[in-house]
Amino acid sequence: MGALVHGGAAVPDGFFLPPNMIAVGDPIRVLPPNDPEALGEAVRSTGFARLAFGVQAAWEDRVARYEQVGRGALGGIRGGRGRRGRVAWR
């Protein structure tokens, strides 16, 4: 159907999420996919990076967030070599 329930959303029993809409939060909010500002704020307010990846960096500090996610996903390995000897993570 093309609808999405975001991680951490509390969906009540019997709730219907219309096609092409996004459900976020607790209590649940239904948002359209063409409102990036509202979606960004909704995802930020759920603490998704903390819930999904254990990241504590501020929402506005994307570089720190991505670095923390990468360190967690790679077990702290930095500067690993990928195929053909290229640096895969720095």
pLDDT per residue over 14-73, tens digit each?
Answer: 999 999 999 998 899 999 999 999 988 888 888 777 777 777 777 677 787 778 777 765
**How far are the Cα atoms of 44, 52, 76 from residue 11, in angstroms, in the given order?**
18, 18, 35
Residue 69 in contact with residue 55, Cβ under 8 Å? yes
pLDDT per residue over 74-89, tens digit each?
Answer: 554 444 444 444 444 4
Instruction: Please tell me the predicted confidence (pLDDT) of residue 71.
Output: 73
Instruction: Please tell me the predicted confidence (pLDDT) of residue 88.
Output: 45
**How far are the Cα atoms of 8, 53, 64, 67, 84 from residue 89, in angstroms, in the given order?**
29, 18, 14, 10, 14
Q: Residue 47: CB partners within 8 Å, gap ≥ 6?
A: 8
Instruction: Please tell me the predicted confidence (pLDDT) of residue 3.
Output: 81
pLDDT at 8 over 50: yes
Helix (H) or strand (E) holding 29: strand 29-31
Instruction: Please tell me the predicted confidence (pLDDT) of residue 79.
Output: 47
